[in-house]
Amino acid sequence: MFQTSTIVSLVEGLYDGNVAYRDVMRHGDFGVGTFNALDGEMVALDGRYFHLRSDGTVNRVSGDELTPFAAVTNFRPNIDHTEDGRLTRQQCEAVLHRLAPSDNLFYAVRIDGRFPTVLTRTITRQSKPYPRLADAAAAEPTVTISDVVGTIVGFHTPDYAQGIGVAGYHLHFLSDDHLSGGHVFDFTVDRPRIRIDSEAELHLSLQATEEFLATRFETDVSGGIASAETSGPSAPA
Ligand SMILES: [Zn+2]
């Protein structure tokens, strides 16, 4: 698994990276990320990189687009399992915990199926002075995608690495027709095919921008990450 920068950098509002996607693409065919100025969500699947924006457009990522955060891998699953029936996100996570060798690993997760609902967010491009991530995310409406065939792409980060990544599961969604997707808060899925590529190796590449070098990071980052990335809106519309 290759990752450029950290989630805490986003939490602190460091939205302008100095890494081009052509360099990220060398490290994997599968993954999640964002773009400079927090201009949407990235999903990479089967070697194709997609740029999802808050206006609903989906484009292929060009190599010269810059990113403040991305995590990718060459997805080669060693676990392949299909569940019967309809599962919630919580139930899928329980299956993942059972299938994965350990919660102490970083691993890549792929879930394919028909999704009755996917609660997503696709962040809007931010302007300077940048708000902190929790405020940018709170201002973003969530979108419920209904009855769609598609794929969830993401990673598990161990609890001890909260801040490097999103502790637990950081998941993005892309529909099969490549017309919808986003950062995933919640979902239901019918008869999901769940694949895991368990990883024991993380290549973490920091971005030594002037802003990063000068930032004083909070030592307790869980609150800022949870509100922006995992819990979603308190009252989903
Ligand atoms: Zn995300």
Q: In the prediction, which pLDDT does 18 show? A: 96
Question: Predicted confidence band at 233 (pLDDT cuts at 50, 70, 90)?
Answer: low
What is the whole-number distance in angstroms between the Cα of residue 173 and the centre of ligand 1?
9
Closest by Cα among 136, 115, 111, 110 to 39? 136
What is the whole-number distance in angstroms between the Cα of residue 33 and the centre of ligand 1?
6
Average pLDDT across the chain, whole number? 94
What is the whole-number distance in angstroms between the Cα of residue 57 and the centre of ligand 1?
17
User: Which residue, chain included where needed, has tokens 């810059």?
Assistant: 66
Q: In the prediction, which pLDDT does 218 show? A: 82
Q: How confident is the model over 95-120, as pLDDT tens digits?
A: 999 999 999 999 999 999 999 999 99
What is the whole-number distance in angstroms between the Cα of residue 104 and the centre of ligand 1?
21
The CA-CA-CA angle for residues 118, 124, 128, to 5°, reads 155
Closest by Cα among 90, 236, 83 to 168? 90
Determine the Cα–Cα distance for residues 127 and 194; give it in Å rounded to an integer: 38
What is the whole-number distance in angstroms between the Cα of residue 40 and the centre of ligand 1?
9
Scored b (16 or more CB within 10 A) or e, 97-117 reads eebbeeeebbbbbbbbbebee
Q: In the prediction, which pLDDT does 236 show? A: 36
Cis bond leading into 129, ω under 30°? yes
What is the whole-number distance in angstroms between the Cα of residue 42 and the centre of ligand 1?
8
CATH number of 2-230: 3.30.1330.80
pLDDT at 92 over 90: yes
Q: How confident is the model over 173-230, as pLDDT tens digits?
A: 999 999 999 999 999 999 999 999 998 899 999 999 999 999 998 877 777 787 788 7
What is the whole-number distance in angstroms between the Cα of residue 170 and the centre of ligand 1?
6
Which tokens belong to 127?
């302007």
Please report the DSSP string for 61-93 in residue order.
PPTT-EES-EEEE----SEEEE--SEEEHHHHH
What is the whole-number distance in angstroms between the Cα of residue 123 and the centre of ligand 1?
9
**Length of the chain as a residue count:** 237
Q: In the prediction, which pLDDT does 225 show? A: 82
Q: How confident is the model over 73-85, as pLDDT tens digits?
A: 999 999 999 999 9
What is the whole-number distance in angstroms between the Cα of residue 211 and the centre of ligand 1?
22
Q: In the prediction, which pLDDT does 231 show? A: 67
Q: How far is CA 75 from CA 21, 100, 187, 232, in A?
A: 18, 15, 22, 27
Q: In the prediction, which pLDDT does 220 show? A: 78
| 87 Cβ contact list (under 8 Å, min separation 6) | 95, 188, 189, 192
What is the whole-number distance in angstroms between the Cα of residue 197 and the centre of ligand 1?
19
Determine the Cα–Cα distance for residues 184 and 174; give it in Å rounded to an integer: 10
